[in-house]
Structure 1
Amino acid sequence: MSSISDHPLRYKLANELHARPFPSMKAPCSAAYVAIKQPEDAVSRDRAQDLAHLTALLDRHGAPHPQPGATHYYGQIGKYWLKWEQHTEFVTYTAFSDGVVARPFDPAEFDVFPSDWLENAPGQRMTSILLNIVPRPAEDVAVTGSLDEWFVSESLAASEVLDGAAIMAGDFRIDLNGHLRFAVFAGAQTGARRIGRIVQRLCEIETYKTMSMLGFARVRALQPGLNELDTKLTGLMGTMSDERASAEETLHDLLSISAELETLSARSSFRFGATGAYEALVDQRIAALREERFQGRQQFGEFMMRRYAPAMRTVHSAEARLEAMSSRSIRASNLLRTRVDVERSAQNQTLLESMDKRSDLQLRLQRTVEGLSVVAISYYAVSLVGYLLYPLTQATGMSKGMLTALATVPVVLLVWWLVRRLRKSVE
């Protein structure tokens, strides 16, 4: 086989597809999950802090450290297995242990994450989950009894997933201990890796749902400002049709509104884009579970359609509104700028006409002065010619006055012709 040089990133890129395997979990077991996000006002996310925070947790249990610059980790800490993942905006910790839990959703299961360690986290908790994974009872009545005991029925979503491999349930409510609850009833034939995939997807659905709701919160904060700017923009566009209003002042106000809209758009573009991406991930994770109805209860997809989708439509509507307002302000500014240019052209035309009149007056004055200059030059020229002709008085018998009179007309005509020729050559 002929040798060929590999791209330096070939193996790294190929291994990235296998770097984050699903956890392997056997029923019965429990899991604790937390997602931490650095504050919105952080200038830039420091990934080294996330890695240092993970290392601090591992040191408490004497567990080996991840590789430098790692974005994922899987290892054992005490009786738990820990799965850590670093994402674009947040990091997640999943700790799970095998065995029967004496008390379902016992908050003590979250003690794997010490309180002082959580207080020193480089960010804020976006969501935390307690998961209870138990074998599926032979009778569905037992499942119904557990669901009625563990969850709020009004918002409970429960469905069979992966062709009947398990039943998953949750009410998406935060309990008194600050955690959400999800339950998985795994079938007898369901393998450990499949259970791990179900648990992983449940955590991802909740995390991506929460992250996408940040866009909804951003829209609520933007709504009063958008309403105010929309009112101003509509008023200014009405002012444009009033010929008595100053076009330049209206243009200045329009440009100010356009600048505010562009600033809002720039500050919100990332959050709106991230919201759309997270929404797509939520839909994909739910679709991958292949839900089937369980005892007539609402499915996760139906819950999202009724409770989650309206919030996402609000975000998309606000994004479209902001873009439409920005485009409208730009179009209005262009129209008003055209009007200002036309008015300035009219003013320039008036100014040019005034300059033409001044030039005409100046030309007339120049011609008047030119006539006077002919007279003045002729006067001095006749005097000089007279001095030249005075010696001829004795030869001709003419007086000096007669000779001067005879020379005046030719001299004046000659001076006039020379001045006119000079003016034509200049023009």
Structure 2
Amino acid sequence: MRFSEHPLRRQIVGEMHLRRFPALELPAMAFQTVRLVDENDREKEWLILEQRCASGLDRNLRHLETEWSANGRLAWERHSEAVTTTLTSTSVSADAQFWSAPNVGPFSDTLQWMETLPGLVIRATHIVVVANDSYAEPVVDRADFHPGHLVSCIIGDSVRIWSDFRIHAGGYGRLVVAANGAADGEVSRSIQRIQELGNYRNLSLLEGTHRSIA
């Protein structure tokens, strides 16, 4: 190796391999937030996690998953720069009103819990995953995407996404994903990649804004 390696390069690459998006049974819905948590709020967050998951959590823990129901999971990940929390549900009917967040039941309770975790949210995404483009069409039509900002592309061999990368009702961005025959693992990896791009874009823009103000 002839080049000079940044001392944090391998740590960053290791974190990228740590991150994973849960496998989903379609149709499915997910909510993800990315939060900046300062030292004052970090212990408060641990106590809240212990109340939800288990007491005596290792403070060096970087990844935590728990089931909130038979069809849903909650994933929490602490990275060097932010904390990502992802709530997924596969108990979704094919004709569901995907863009209406549930207001009763375990999913609603867990979503409210996630939204009140300590820290400042820099990105929040409401994700709908369906089997194919035909199922995606009515979901996209109801997403209220801005026509001038709507982007659609294929990731990998067949997974297609739609988003306008804007903030919608409830403070969430919206992302539609059609599997189009892709295996569950490929769908999850595709969602993970597109989310990481958006999450790091916001982190980079935030850092640049702070520098310009300073």
Distance 1:169 1:131 in 2: 10
TM-aligned CA deviation for residue 133 of structure 1: 0.3
CA displacement 1:125-152 (0-9 Å, x = unmatched): 11211100011145xxx75564344211
Q: Quick one: which of 175, 178, 182 aligns to 2:168?
A: 175
Contact 2:27 2:130 in 1 (8 A): yes
Q: 1:180 to 1:19 in 2, by over 3 A?
A: closer
TM-aligned CA deviation for residue 210 of structure 1: 1.2
How does 1:346-425 map onto structure 2 within 5 Å? none
Contact 2:20 2:189 in 1 (8 A): no
How does 1:48-197 map onto structure 2 within 5 Å? 48-56=43-51, 58=52, 63-64=53-54, 67-69=57-59, 70-78=61-69, 79-101=71-93, 102-108=96-102, 111-114=109-112, 118-119=115-116, 121-137=117-133, 143=136, 146-150=139-143, 151-164=145-158, 166-188=159-181, 190-197=182-189
Which structure carries more strand by proportion? Answer: 2
For structure 1, the residue ranges without an aligned partner over 5 or more in a row are: 1-14, 223-427
What secondary structure does 1:154 align onto? Answer: coil
- Letter in structure 2 aligned against 1:75: T
What secondary structure does 1:89 align onto? Answer: coil
Q: 1:174 to 1:90 in 2, by over 3 A?
A: same
The count of corresponding residues between Structure 1 and Structure 2 is 192
Q: 1:144 to 1:88 in 2, by over 3 A?
A: same
TM-aligned CA deviation for residue 177 of structure 1: 1.1
What secondary structure does 2:167 align onto? Answer: coil
Contact 2:26 2:131 in 1 (8 A): yes
- Which of these two proteins has the greater Rg computed from alpha carbons? 1
CA displacement 1:251-280 (0-9 Å, x = unmatched): xxxxxxxxxxxxxxxxxxxxxxxxxxxxxx
Distance 1:95 1:53 in 2: 16
How does 1:12-27 map onto structure 2 within 5 Å? 20-27=19-26
Q: Aligned pair 1:202/2:175, yes or no?
A: no
Q: 1:110 to 1:219 in 2, by over 3 A?
A: farther
- Higher relative contact order, structure no. (Cα contacts within 8 Å, ≥ 6 residues apart): 2
Distance 1:83 1:118 in 2: 14
CA displacement 1:218-273 (0-9 Å, x = unmatched): 24424xxxxxxxxxxxxxxxxxxxxxxxxxxxxxxxxxxxxxxxxxxxxxxxxxxx
Contact 1:26 1:191 in 2 (8 A): no
- Letter in structure 2 aligned against 1:68: D
TM-aligned CA deviation for residue 34 of structure 1: 1.2
TM-aligned CA deviation for residue 64 of structure 1: 4.1
Q: Aligned pair 1:217/2:209, yes or no?
A: yes
- Letter in structure 1 aligned against 2:63: H
* Runs of 4+ in structure 1 over 6 Å off: 15-18
CA displacement 1:176-217 (0-9 Å, x = unmatched): 2111100101112x1212221122223222221111111232
Percent identity over the alignment is 23
TM-score, normalised by the number of residues in structure 1: 0.40
What secondary structure does 1:53 align onto? Answer: helix
Distance 2:165 2:119 in 1: 22
RMSD: 2.8
For structure 2, the residue ranges without an aligned partner over 5 or more in a row are: 1-13
How does 1:153-302 map onto structure 2 within 5 Å? 153-164=147-158, 166-188=159-181, 190-222=182-214
Which structure carries more helix by proportion? Answer: 1
Q: 1:50 to 1:103 in 2, by over 3 A?
A: same
TM-aligned CA deviation for residue 167 of structure 1: 0.5
What secondary structure does 1:206 align onto? Answer: helix
